[in-house]
Amino acid sequence: MRIVAVIQARMGSTRLPGKVLKPIAGKPLLWHIVHRLRKSRLIEEVAIATSVGPLDDAIAEFGRQNGVTVVRGPEDDVLARFARAAELLDADIIVRVNADAPFIDADFVDHLITAMIEQNCDYVLLEENAQTAHQGVDPMTRRALDKLMMDAAGDPVAREHVTGYFKLHPDFVPIARAKPYPKLARDAGRLTIDTPDDLAFVEAVHARLEAKAGEASLADLLLLLEREPALRGINAHVRQKEIAPQGGLALIRCDGGGSYGFGHVKRMIALARALRDVQGIGAVFAVNGSEDALPAIRQAGFAAHLIDGPHATLPGVEPDLLILDCRDGPTRAEVEAWKAPLVAVIDDASERRLAADFAYYPPVPQTERLDWQGSNCAVRIGWEWALLGLSPTAGRPQSHSSLPTLLVTMGGSDPFGLTLRAANALAMLEPAFRARFVIGPGFKNKDRIAKTIVSLHSNFETIEGADGLATEFASCDLALAAFGVTAYELAAFGVPAIYLCISEDHALSASAFERAGLGVSLGLASGAGDRAIAKAVWALLGDNERRHEMHTASLMTIDGNAAAHIAADLAAALSAKRETNLAKAAS
């Protein structure tokens, strides 16, 4: 029998684009898989099945440089690519290999192949209840592959997952049962690479084992995880994609950078992470604003593109979900014309919300006044839908200073100059407190502003270049903040706050926070004098009981898990829509 291993690989992974060529210990992920498969005693040839899409030209070049046959076929039909590979390679047995499993053990693969041949079956699984840490390989016969092509080529599971069809339909072909493999018979958690955190885990493992590329065995890894179980925490939150055709792609359209600030970008990254890591739905960003909004998105592992104005789209992207979080954006008619299967809006009061399938809002006054007549949108209103850009930590904020700590944060760009204005107001107090001023990445003249602030008082400090403010939130006693996404984040951390508002809309939302006992609103910043700012700060810093009440009310009101709630809601809706479409097609 001629036995070949066929690695299914594409650059267009929705959760981690380009992952198959991401480096691990200095070598691409695909190199690790090929290197390990070539140690098999039974596999005669290793090949890669990829698509004809231009993105996958990089995989074809990898094959050329590494002496690996590359077979190319339809982008949307993995099964057809395997059938073509089997034919071109004249294979009797095909070992389907996922391109996301870097710790393949060749002896284990041979163990499965041998069991399938000896039992004269067309597919192989371990015996019932047998445990293994090994992932990513599925041997099958050419007969089984041909039967899939003849009888199940139209099934979405067969087309996308190939051998996954056998697991859902165990009577489709004879299935061998291989004996347990003691060397690997334990649970290792996630060892596949689907997200940036998975990649970080694999890199961390190689570093701890001090292993060069291709040297870290799966058995070595299991022993390491027994000694250092904390390593699992790097990617333990990531959920494996189901065999059933879930997944999908979300196009996230948001404003960011420059005069827009970074609040929308931060919370959309949080939602994109929840969609990708938990629901298996990838995301690509289309940002209206400026280039400085893109690095944070890309650092989180998502493709990000700056679009040419609020009404522009991304050509060639056909998402399963369109998520809009923007002040300046497409019209209702434009959203309807895009014809995305599902559309969701975040905190959107414009007419385009009427074209959405889902809309998410905190319970602020203006939300409750919106008219939904003529729309079929499912409207979600509540504090549990208040989307944040940070994951809150539990516990009462504690200052690391002998003095109480005031955090001043006016957004990532502070286009109205509130940071310097706050510093001048607070300098009037001759403060017996420490004030820490956040200098955001989008500030103009940030060096001059920082120097001016620290010159005003010895207790004034600046925070510059911070990747996030979670540590600052968790260690301050009070915040003076421009109302916006940051106000929700402060509440989730239990931080009492004083709000300055840059618009009437923000002032109305801030009033809801004040009524809920989360903070104090000074209304529009343009109408709040410096003395009023200083007086409000001084009063709250001197009232421990009131600050404690605000802390408790905040933690009881905003749980900080809206990203997970929204992601689960949208994933369930997408799954239901797919089931409805399948039922219609079947009838």
pLDDT, tens digit, for every residue of 475-506? 899 999 999 888 999 999 999 999 999 999 89
Q: How far apart are CA 255 and CA 267, in angstroms?
A: 11
Q: How far apart are CA 339 and CA 319, in angstroms?
A: 10
Percent of the chain scored above 90 by pLDDT?
Answer: 56
Q: Which amino acid is at 99?
A: A
- Is residue 244 scored above 50 in pLDDT? no
Q: How far apart are CA 468 and CA 485, in angstroms?
A: 13
- Poorest-confidence range of 200-209, 259-268, 347-356, 466-475? 466-475
Task: Kindly tell me the sign of the dihedral angle through the C-alpha atoms of 540, 546, 552, 557.
Answer: negative
- Is residue 224 scored above 50 in pLDDT? yes
* Local confidence band at 209 (pLDDT 50, 70, 90 cut-offs): confident
Section 339-361 average pLDDT: 93
- Residue with more model confidence, 2 or 309: 2
- Residue with more model confidence, 186 or 98: 98
Q: Within 13 Å of residue 484, how many CA atoms lie on the same side as its CB?
A: 22
pLDDT of residue 394: 42
pLDDT of residue 167: 87
Q: How far apart are CA 181 and CA 319, in angstroms?
A: 42
CB neighbour list of residue 343: distance below 8 Å, 6 or more residues apart:
321, 322, 323, 324, 335, 355, 356, 357, 358
pLDDT of residue 217: 85
Q: How far apart are CA 12 and CA 284, in angstroms?
A: 11
Q: Which domains does the chain carry? A: 3-186 (3.90.550.10), 249-389+564-586 (3.40.50), 405-557 (3.40.50.2000)
- What b/e string do you get for 97-112 counting C-beta neighbours within 10 Å, with b at 16 or more? bbbbbbbbbbebbbbb
Section 512-541 average pLDDT: 94
Pairing of strands 249-256, 321-325: parallel
| Structure tokens that stand for 148 in this block | 């899939």
pLDDT of residue 476: 92
- Is residue 84 scored above 90 in pLDDT? yes
